[in-house]
Structure 1
Amino acid sequence: MVSKPCRVHTGRKRNDAARQAILDAVPALLAAADGTDITMTEIAAAAGVGKQTIYRWWPSRGVLLLDALSAWAGAEVAEPSGETLLEDLDTFLRATFLAASTPPAHHLLCAILADAQRDPETSRLLAGFAETRRAALRRIFDRARVRGELADGTDVELLIDQAFGVLWYRLGVRRAPLTAELAAQLAATLADMRR
Structure 2
Amino acid sequence: MDNHRPHTGRRRNEHVRQAILDGALRLLASAQGSPVTVEAIAREAGVGKQTIYRWWPSKGAVLLEALTDRAEEAAPSPDTGSLHSDLRAVIAATFGGAQDPSTAPALHTLVREAARDPHLAELMQAFTGTRRAVLREVLTRGRERGELPAGRDLDLMVDQVYGVFWYRFLLGHAPLTEEIADLLTDSLIAPGCTGEPAPA
TM-score by length of 1: 0.74
Tell me the SS of whatever aligns to 2:194.
Answer: coil
Q: Quote how far apart the aligned CAs of 1:164 are.
A: 0.9
Relative distance call for 1:134 and 1:119 in structure 2 (3 A) is same
1:112 alignment counterpart? 110
Relative distance call for 1:58 and 1:81 in structure 2 (3 A) is closer
Q: Quote how far apart the aligned CAs of 1:24 are.
A: 2.2
The one of 22, 26, 37 equivalent to 2:34 is 37
Gaps in structure 1 of 5+ consecutive residues? 1-12
Q: Does 1:65 align with 2:63?
A: yes
1:169 alignment counterpart? 167
TM-score by length of 2: 0.73
Tell me the SS of whatever aligns to 2:159.
Answer: helix
Tell me the SS of whatever aligns to 2:176.
Answer: coil
1:8 alignment counterpart? none
Q: Quote how far apart the aligned CAs of 1:25 are.
A: 1.4
2:124 alignment counterpart? 126
2:139 alignment counterpart? 141
Relative distance call for 1:151 and 1:122 in structure 2 (3 A) is same
Q: Quote how far apart the aligned CAs of 1:60 are.
A: 4.6
Gaps in structure 2 of 5+ consecutive residues? 1-9, 196-200
Q: Quote how far apart the aligned CAs of 1:105 are.
A: 2.1
Amino acid at match of 1:194: T
The RMSD of aligned alpha carbons is 3.0
Counterpart-to-counterpart distance in 2, 1:136 and 1:72: 14
2:194 alignment counterpart? 194
Residues 28-47 of structure 1 show CA distances to partners (whole Å, capped at 9, x for unaligned) of 2334x275435325434323
Q: Does 1:24 align with 2:22?
A: yes
Counterpart-to-counterpart distance in 1, 2:168 and 2:53: 31
Q: Is the 8 A contact 2:12 2:55 kept in 1?
A: no
Q: Quote how far apart the aligned CAs of 1:161 are.
A: 0.5
Deviates more, 1:109-118 or 1:59-68: 59-68
Amino acid at match of 1:69: L
Counterpart-to-counterpart distance in 1, 2:158 and 2:149: 16
